[in-house]
Amino acid sequence: MNILFIGDVFSAIGREMIERYLPLLKEKYEIDFVIANVENATHGKGLIKKHYNEFLFQGISFMTMGNHTFAKKELFDYIDEADRLIVPYNQPKALPGIGSREILFKNRKIRVTNLLGITFMDGKSQNPFEAIDDILAKDQSDIHIIDFHAEATSEKVALGYYLDGKVSAVLGTHTHVTTADEKILPKGTAYQSDVGMTGPYHSAIGCDVDSIIKRMKMGIMTPFQIAESEGQLRATLLTFNDQNQCTQIQRICIDPNHSL
């Protein structure tokens, strides 16, 4: 079984890259199941219902979120019916949404869990190392993939090794920069610190470069501007054998310098 995880989909350019290339990726890599982090899909922050439905139509089976989950208030209106949407499991309990979902697909129980990091984040979330133990205690899935939406690489690496042999894969999101550390850990869990971003190629993690340089050089909190650029698609391909073991983890890059 081949499972594709698409890194943070950012703005209209990211959505266009999904529409254009996902069918081709499915054909080339014989992809069975698709997951995508979509917390930045609508204008760079949040997810409206229209875009949620578009992703469903394009064949994305599960959508994960992150620290911008509720940036678009429209989500509160449809979150209860969005049964393919997964919000951070360790977010404050007062917030709505499901943080871990399981689906029976081709006679395999596939679970996807979304977690938020707490290092250099807003500090309101439960410790992810404690939160995931609650799920593991009752999990009976065949394949369990964690989207760890976190800032610090050290926190991501530590969680990867903490969950080695307990879940199928720990894939990092949030930093929007693809890391080259994909590997199978000693006890069989696939790991990558960050899958990367699907969105504007020439940008500062999705935003207009000049506006970010001005913001950083002058110390002025100017509004974020979405970059207008050619697109890129960043994803990670996981291959599982008949015993539900991950046998390969592979980076996929599509941009002006990397064709499909």
Q: Are 186 and 180 in contact (CB under 8 A)?
A: no
Q: In angstroms, rounded to a whole number, what is the distance separating the alpha carbons of residues 123 and 133?
A: 19
Q: Are 165 and 142 in contact (CB under 8 A)?
A: no
Q: Are 259 and 244 in contact (CB under 8 A)?
A: no
Maximum alpha-carbon separation in the chain: 56
Q: In angstroms, rounded to a whole number, what is the distance separating the alpha carbons of residues 171 and 175?
A: 12
**Catalytic pick among 43, 51, 68, 176:** 68
Q: Does the active-site annotation cover 68?
A: yes
The helix (H) or strand (E) run that includes residue 240 is strand 231-240
Residue 48, both tokens: 């409206």
215, 228, 236, 80 alpha-carbon torsion, rounded to 10°:
80
Buried b (16+ CB within 10 A) or exposed e, 246-257: beebebbebeee
Q: CB within 8 A of 142, min separation 6: which ones?
A: 108, 109, 110, 244
Cα torsion 118, 189, 33, 153: sign: positive
Catalytic residues, which ones? 68
